[in-house]
Amino acid sequence: MSDEPNRFPLSRPAVRTRVLMAGVFVGAIVAMSLSWVFSWGVETEADRVQAAEEAAVTARREAFSSPPGSCLTWTKPDASDVKKVGCAQEHLFEVAGVVDISAQYPKDARPPNADAWQTIAEQRCGQSVRDYLDKPLDPFGKLSLGVLRPDEQQWTQGERKLHCGIQWVSPGGELQPLKGKAKDENQSNVWEPGTCLALVNKTVGDPVDCTKEHSYEIVGLVNLANHFEAFPSADEQEKWLDTECNRIVGEYTGGANLRDKGLILGWDLREKESWDAGSTLVNCKVGAKLEDNSGLAPVRGSVAKDAPPPPTTEQKPRQGESNKQNDQQNRQQEQEQQGGSEQGNGG
């Protein structure tokens, strides 16, 4: 009978010790592995900045490879954060066509100046937009031709493709968001009731809060096509809108007397080109004119019946004036007190 099993006897405590030691060793490996995983998962501020920059570059590359029918938006003034979005979402630009100008501007050519860019946009993009819309572009409407061109870095790298598109530019030059496809958009240059438009150099600017100085407040939106079957003359429009806008402003203001407030009621008129492009909507609006009729006068506060009263126009003393006024009042009080005491002493 072999004595092999008795040569290295293994007691239970020894087994437990070895198991524990093995457990400690395995636990150390697991802990080390977790520490590596956690260290890999830590994201520094530099990592986040780099990731954001890479994402922006990717989004911009995707935007500049977008086919016609794509919608783009951005938040930065130079559109450096341009990205592609669904057209059902708010966007600033809808791609209507892509134009390659590499034949006129090879890789080493300098970029066109502002006037040349304008000419390229009109000559190369105008027809693309008209074909894309499949209807006339209202020359007086809210939609206009836009071009996304390569930035300085892209131009240096040889990019020569232009994205012709459609956008909405407000009177002050600020891009306004669009929703939906341009083909389905009513091109009438109108605003929703309750909108106030800024006053810039005695004329109309971009939308602003009605508590701020503005040129017009939009009080109504009407459709000429609901009353006229064919294009109405200016006189026909004037006659109907005079009645319709007066009715609308009465409801909007609760019957307020505009003349007592120094305000006047106005409305838009449509040209034949606009009517042919489907632009049949017009705004009724309230504003004021300067006494010399040189332009629009500033208005503050809304005329809506449920609007808060306009802010007071009392001017606060400029710095230093309040102290001067206090000194004058103190001297006057001292003089009155001295006069009173002199009369008393004299009595």
What integer pLDDT is reported at residue 342 of this predicted model? 34
d(Cα 76, Cα 71) in Å, to the nearest integer? 16
Report the distance separating Cα 319 and Cα 316, nearest Å: 9
What pLDDT is stored for residue 128 in this prediction?
A: 87
Residue 144, classed as helix, strand or coil, is strand
pLDDT of the chain, 347 residues: tens digit per residue:
444 333 334 444 444 434 444 444 444 444 444 444 444 455 666 655 555 555 555 666 667 778 999 999 999 888 888 899 999 999 999 999 999 999 999 989 999 998 998 898 888 888 889 899 988 899 999 999 999 888 888 899 899 988 999 999 999 889 999 999 999 999 999 999 999 999 999 999 999 999 999 999 999 999 999 999 999 999 999 999 999 999 999 999 999 999 999 999 999 999 999 999 999 999 999 999 999 999 999 999 999 999 887 665 544 444 444 444 444 444 444 433 333 333 333 33
Contacts of 279 (CB under 8 A, 6+ apart): 138, 140, 141, 186, 187, 188, 189, 270
pTM exceeds 0.85 for this model: no
Residue 221 pairs in a beta bridge with: 283
pLDDT of residue 154: 85
Residue 180 burial (CB count, 10 A) = 14
CA dist 280 → 121, 219, 266 (Å): 28, 17, 17
* 54/66 Cα distance (integer angstroms): 18
Distance, CA of 277 to CA of 139 (rounded, Å): 9
pLDDT score of 68: 92
In DSSP terms, which residues pair with 145 in a beta bridge? Answer: 166
Q: What is the predicted pLDDT for the residue at 94?
A: 96
b/e per residue 24-44 (b: at least 16 CB within 10 A): eeeeeeeeeeeeeeeeeeeee
Q: In this predicted structure, what is the pLDDT of residue 47?
A: 53
Distance CA 329, CA 253 (A): 44
What pLDDT is recorded for position 79? 84
